[in-house]
Amino acid sequence: MIIKLIQPKMILRPMDTKLKSRMAPSLALLTIANLTPEEHTIIITDENIEKINYKEKVDLVAITVTVDVSEHAYEIANKYRAAGIPVIGGGIHVSAAPEEAVENFDAICIGMAEGCWQQILHDVENGTLKKIYDSSSELTGDKIVSPKYSIINKNRYLYTNVISTSRGCTFKCEFCYNSCEHSTKYINRPIEEVLKEINELKTKHVMFVDDNFIGNPAWTREFLTAIKDMNLKWNAAVTSNILNYPDILDLMKETGCRSLFIGFESINAKSVSSVNKTQNSVEKYNLLIRAIHDRGIMINASLVFGLDFDTKDVFSKTLNWLVENRIETMTAHILTPYPGTVLYGKMLSENRITDFNSSKYNTSNVVFKPLGMTPEELREGYLWIYKKFYTFKNIFKRIPQNSNQKLAFVLFNIFYRKYGRITCILASIITFGVLGRFARKIGYRIK
């Protein structure tokens, strides 16, 4: 069969540029490509890069779906289905809201593709395709399949050196997809498989894209010990309870960690507690930041605004906290009740959801009734803090004291965020891949 795998076009937020949509290829689609037997032909179409060729001969289509692009994904599916081509839906939104997705595809995959893709292909070939394939039951880490890195066009993306060492998360924050009924139980991959991928990518810089790189601290210790002599520079996402593991922080420094993405979410303890963010201790945030900075590691602080105990002064207070602590980068979100999450169920029962247009569910729009401010105040405050955080004045105040961090800090704050549109023009000339490799080389001093 000729199988087309589709990544629908991302809906960018007001502060985003094409750099965001060209950050990295879809590991989900690359994994499906590697799950597919060699006798089949795989075509991957990333709509962020190219238009979908509906005239291209294909026998089967599979689409990965997030909530904000779901309506568009259904439109794509309908065009192929109208031509008699079966379409499979998968991805995080399909697993979170299967009752909606099943109406728009010939079949859906709930959970990890490793648990059902082979069966789907078998059933398509034999004319016995079912509507629902549920692989959300427990799978072990050794069942996770590596992405097919060899088919990536490296010039199309800023980063192709992306690796997942695990699936799922040990925590169940109410606004997160990990609180959904069909969320994946946290599992780590075999260390030797991850090492194999690092070597296959032939890179000295790796972006680990797990939900939680320290979900199993014992695994993390063993893995970091295994990469000690690889002379890597790397980035990852961790939970704030990393403060409880100073030995792991030491290993991170020793093995080349350059930045950590951390879900602080709010500097208001009541707001944090309101969404079951049990791993966060607001009173220890400053200690955590100091522990990370003392080891020469930068921080990307993830924040959520509009939580039930937030009032309109949360933006100015948070900005002051970010600047005072020299937080290098920030990723802010407006609280968004993703369908299928615990938060969605609560807000639905309280009649607080005001907008069901899924295209607005990309964390830059207010789709619910906030309790501590008006929807307009929430939206304006969200845009305000982004603008203020990346003013030259505040960029200067946040310059890292560690000299090894300064160039990477400038590259992100100035050329990615503040003047990202100009950087996009440059990338369109020299390719995103060349730009990304150059940025890594000078930002992290990779030889």
Domain ranges of the chain: 2-135, 161-389, 406-447
Buried b (16+ CB within 10 A) or exposed e, 143-164: ebbbbbbeebebebbbbbbbbb
**Angle, in degrees to the nearest 10, between helices 314-324 and 375-389:** 20
pLDDT tens, position by position, 102-138: 999 999 999 999 999 999 999 999 999 999 999 877 7
Query: Which DSSP string do the residues of 337-365 spell out, in sequence order?
Result: --TTSHHHHHHHHTT-B----GGG-SSSS
pLDDT of residue 91: 96
C-alpha 262/C-alpha 301 separation (Å) is 5
pLDDT of residue 92: 95
Buried b (16+ CB within 10 A) or exposed e, 407-439: ebbebbbbbbbbebeebbeebeeebbbebbbeb
pLDDT of residue 404: 87
Tell me which of 3.40.50.280, 3.40.640.10, 2.60.40.10, 1.10.599.10 is the CATH number of domain 2-135.
3.40.50.280
pLDDT of residue 136: 75
CB 107 within 8 A of CB 132: yes
Q: What is the CATH number of domain 161-389?
A: 3.20.20.70
pLDDT of residue 445: 84
Instruction: Output Rg (C-alpha) for the chain, integer angstroms.
Output: 22
Task: Give the pLDDT band (50/70/90) at residue 447.
Answer: low
pLDDT of residue 446: 80
pTM more than 0.85? yes
Place of tokens 């779901």: 70
pLDDT tens, position by position, 210-261: 999 999 999 999 999 999 999 999 999 999 999 999 999 999 999 999 999 9
Query: In the predicted model, what is the mean pLDDT of residues 20-28?
Result: 97
Give the Cα-Cα-Cα angle 286, 366, 320 (nearest 5 degrees): 25
Q: Is the pLDDT of residue 177 over 80?
A: yes
Q: Is the pLDDT of residue 75 over 90?
A: yes
CB 220 within 8 A of CB 248: yes
pLDDT of residue 182: 81
